[in-house]
Amino acid sequence: MSIILVLLEMMACAAAAGITSYLLLEGREARHFSSAKAEELYTLVEAFDQGLIGHFGHACSLIAEGCPYSPHGDETWMRLTRDSAQARMLVSFYFPSLWPQVKRADASVASAVGAMRRYQASRCDEESVIALEQSLVDMRDTMETLKNAVVMTHRDGKRPVLRSRRPSMAQALRMAA
């Protein structure tokens, strides 16, 4: 009888060690995944920010020279649109708490585009130049705020929303029945 108890005790210890190892590895994998997604999002937002700076700088120089400018055929604008879509996908899948900052960034980009159109319509108007400069500064600040929010979300330990890969205990019991 004591041999059976010893064997059961050994099996229980082995099972406990296996479960503990699994949970530790699962936690480490979740942290690694979270870090990778946060880094990917930050990199996309940084590339988008730098792309916006270059795009608006190029567009404003074309307008200042008297050339008409429209972003519809511009390859840079298309790339910026793709980067924005990919960043939105990451936010919606993994970081939904960042949506308010994304909406503010959208509003600031729209404001800068509107100010650039007003500047293009009346290049000689000093108010349109000042409004464009202010909207570009606001856009830059908003993008910095978004990047800081990505970093803080990751540092605060907020993990991305993960889809469960294994059934819950209740689901497992229902499947077994």
Q: For the ranges 15-19, 47-51, 96-100, 142-146, which has the lowest average pLDDT? A: 15-19
Over residues 39-53, mean pLDDT = 91
Q: What is the pLDDT of residue 72?
A: 66
> CA-CA distance, 58 to 8, in Å (whole number)?
74
pLDDT confidence band for 162 (50 / 70 / 90): very low
Over residues 15-42, mean pLDDT = 82
Residue 13 has pLDDT above 50, yes or no: yes
> CA-CA distance, 160 to 166, in Å (whole number)?
17
Question: Do residues 103 and 81 touch, judged by C-beta distance below 8 A?
Answer: no
Residue 81 CB: number of other CB atoms within 10 A?
A: 12
Say which residues have a Cβ less than 8 Å from residue 62's Cβ, sequence separation at least 6: 69
Among candidate residues 105, 110, 108, 112, the one with its CA nearest the CA of residue 59: 112
Q: What is the pLDDT of residue 140?
A: 92
Which of residues 137 and 74 earns the better pLDDT score? Answer: 137
> CA-CA distance, 15 to 9, in Å (whole number)?
10
Q: What is the DSSP string of 81-116?
A: HHHHHHHHHHHHHH-GGGHHHHHHHHHHHHHHHHHH
Q: What is the pLDDT of residue 164?
A: 47
Q: What is the pLDDT of residue 57?
A: 87
Residue 121 has pLDDT above 50, yes or no: yes
Residue 67 has pLDDT above 60, yes or no: yes
What distance lies between CA 164 and its chain's CA centroid? 21
3-class SS of residue 167: coil
> CA-CA distance, 109 to 107, in Å (whole number)?
6
Residue 20 has pLDDT above 70, yes or no: yes
Over residues 39-57, mean pLDDT = 90
pLDDT confidence band for 66 (50 / 70 / 90): confident
Domains of the chain: 35-164 (1.20.120)
Mean pLDDT taken over the chain:
81
Q: What is the pLDDT of residues 122-151, one digit of tens each?
A: 866 788 888 888 999 999 999 999 999 988
